[in-house]
């Protein structure tokens, strides 16, 4: 089984512990709001995972629905929702065929999820990701917005796609689909070097763990890309 699919299927709790200290300076929400105002909006969050974006959006959205393919991630998401007494809804499904009516959402987000298809479908990734993008455009209202969030490397002092495949995908989003990119810091903040290693190694691997020890990183540098696109209103 693919490394990430295994984590999403069997280690959802560990994954949520990993992301809890991420973006400790709070740069992500302002970046989302620079794409479009979020207050009072109906938001569909694709690849919602354990609830990173629903937790971030809090009470400001009128309604949030989180969709994910992996049942274990949704179970942890539900646990996090109960912990904070949140009100968002959850659905299990494939991003390539959304079970929502046309024009339902004001904003559609896809955080750290679509890039996996670049590796899972190396022969026809443009077709597979294109299906998601067309579904996103279908379910958003005219005048609404699409937001895609992806990694620009963890454990580096400069932002860059982690590999050439993701670099190709990011360039394709901008060139073929007219998304505009923001680059932000989303550093993790741990209480100790050992905590940083223990919470990240299962996901990022031994090379990053060695770098954390070598650099003495309690604040682990991370860069994130936020791609936004406004959908034209009907005239």
3-49: pLDDT as tens digits:
999 999 999 999 999 999 999 999 999 999 999 999 999 999 999 99
Strand order in the sheet with 180-185: 89-92, 63-68, 42-46, 105-111, 140-154, 222-230, 180-185
212's tokens: 């954390």
Asked if the structure places residue 205 within a domain, the reply is: no
Task: Give me the mean pLDDT over the 136-151 stretch.
Answer: 98
Q: Is the pLDDT assigned to residue 71 strictly greater than 70?
A: yes
Asked if the structure places residue 217 within a domain, the reply is: no
Asked if the structure places residue 146 within a domain, the reply is: yes
> How many distinct structural domains can be found in the chain?
1
Asked if the structure places residue 40 within a domain, the reply is: yes
Asked if the structure places residue 123 within a domain, the reply is: yes
For a pLDDT cut of 70, what percent of the chain falls above it?
99
Asked if the structure places residue 162 within a domain, the reply is: yes
Structural domain including 35 reads 3-189+223-230
CATH of the domain at 54: 3.40.50.150
What confidence score (pLDDT) does residue 95 get? 97
Nearest CA to 168 among 113, 224, 129?
A: 129
85-118: pLDDT as tens digits:
999 999 999 999 999 999 999 999 999 999 999 9
Q: Is the pLDDT assigned to residue 84 strictly greater than 80?
A: yes
Asked if the structure places residue 212 within a domain, the reply is: no
Q: Is the pLDDT assigned to residue 53 strictly greater than 70?
A: yes
Asked if the structure places residue 44 within a domain, the reply is: yes
15's tokens: 């994954």
What confidence score (pLDDT) does residue 235 get? 62
């Amino acid at each position: 089984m693919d490394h990430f699919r295994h984590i999403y299927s069997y280690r959802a709790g560990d994954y949520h512990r990993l992301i809890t200290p991420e973006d400790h300076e709070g740069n992500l929400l302002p970046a989302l709001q620079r794409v479009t105002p979020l207050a009072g909006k109906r938001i569909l969050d694709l690849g919602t995972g354990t609830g990173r974006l629903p937790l971030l959006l809090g009470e400001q959205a009128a309604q949030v629905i989180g969709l994910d393919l992996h049942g274990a991630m949704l179970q942890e998401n539900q646990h996090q929702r109960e912990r904070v007494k949140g009100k968002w809804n959850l659905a299990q499904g494939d991003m390539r065929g959304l079970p929502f009516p046309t024009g339902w959402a004001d904003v559609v987000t896809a955080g750290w999820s679509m890039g996996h298809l670049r590796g899972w479908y190396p022969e026809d990734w443009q077709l597979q990701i294109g299906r998601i993008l067309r579904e996103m455009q279908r379910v958003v209202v005219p005048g609404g917005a699409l937001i895609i969030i992806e990694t620009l490397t963890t454990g580096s002092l400069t932002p860059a796609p982690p590999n050439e495949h993701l670099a190709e995908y990011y360039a394709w989003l901008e060139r073929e689909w007219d998304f505009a990119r923001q680059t932000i810091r989303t550093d993790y903040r741990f209480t100790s070097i050992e905590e940083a290693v223990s919470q990240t190694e299962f996901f990022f691997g031994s090379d990053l763990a060695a770098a954390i020890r070598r650099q003495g990183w309690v604040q682990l540098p991370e860069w994130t890309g936020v791609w936004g696109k406004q959908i034209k209103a009907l005239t």
